[in-house]
Amino acid sequence: MKFTLVFPDKKRKTIRLGERLGVKTLLKHLPNGTTIKHPRRDTKVCGHKRRLLGKTFNDGDILNIVYKDHTSVRRLRRDLPTSNEECMISLSKDSKRAKMPCGHAITPRSLYDYCWSELENGRTEIKCPYVLNAKAETCNSLWSFDAFTKFANMNKKEKKTIENKIFTNKMKITNQKIPDVNTMISLLHNSPKTVIYGISCPLRRACPRCYSIIEHTGGCRSMRCGYPGCGFVFCFRCLSQGALCSYNCKTVPTQFALL
């Protein structure tokens, strides 16, 4: 069965599911705490193990997604900068808008939904979608993981899910077999230590771009990933991209801390 999902911000998404699957399966494709407005009845459809898609909807139905009252409000943290401009996605001025690092405004709810929309489309990075001119050129500024998760007010569980999705998308782009996450965590967190220019550092690191496991066998901190098609250059100590690290860094972050 084919469905067109229409979200509160008017964005649409088309999915296909078997008619003998439960409605609960359909709800797994949606943000937590959402319901579906029935296309022919004045009711909202919630997940139920006995409710089958084929007995609830028709093929080709357009389904309006409804956020529950307690989940529709995703509040902006008080310590973050706000903007008086309208939200770049919902065009709303009713809720507080975050002022993103690039200077453009967005509500935490719209930011959360936009991030998931991008990741569901296979993206591995979240960039600003603000439309600059009539030619539909966008800002396209890259938002860091810390920035968009903080401005969307994501909790620890949501951050973990987002990071897992980014990891999966990167594996698909580089045509690598998706490894068992627990195995990767074990390899990285149980790594032996080595000393790089006087600072203790794990002997094993994962390439920040393709997540290939790399061991430091000697030489300087600058590392080039040897996986075919990658070649990403980064600092083995602080994990920053090569051009962004002064190589005077002293921080040694733990990889996959959220997983």
Cβ(66)–Cβ(78) below 8 Å: no
Q: What is the pLDDT of residues 28-39, one digit of tens each?
A: 777 666 778 888
Q: What is the pLDDT of residues 61-84, one digit of tens each?
A: 999 887 654 444 678 888 899 999
At residue 156, what is the residue type? K
Element (H, E) at 233: strand 233-235
User: 35 in helix, strand or coil?
Assistant: strand
**Percent of residues, the chain, with pLDDT higher than 70:** 88
Which domains, from first to last, does the chain contain? 2-72 (3.10.20.90), 82-173 (3.30.40), 181-244 (no CATH)
214 secondary structure, DSSP code: E
Residue 155 banded pLDDT, cuts 50, 70, 90? confident
Cβ(224)–Cβ(236) below 8 Å: no
User: 5 in helix, strand or coil?
Assistant: strand
pTM over 0.85: no
Please provide residue 107's backbone torsions phi and psi, each rounded to the nearest 5 degrees: -80, 150
What is residue 259's predicted lDDT score, i.e. its pLDDT? 41
Q: What is the pLDDT of residues 79-130, one digit of tens each?
A: 899 999 999 988 878 778 999 999 999 999 889 989 988 988 888 889 999 9
User: 223 in helix, strand or coil?
Assistant: strand
Cβ(230)–Cβ(212) below 8 Å: yes
Tokens (6 digits) for 24:
């609960």
Mean pLDDT score of the chain: 82
Per-residue pLDDT, averaged over 171-176, amounts to 68
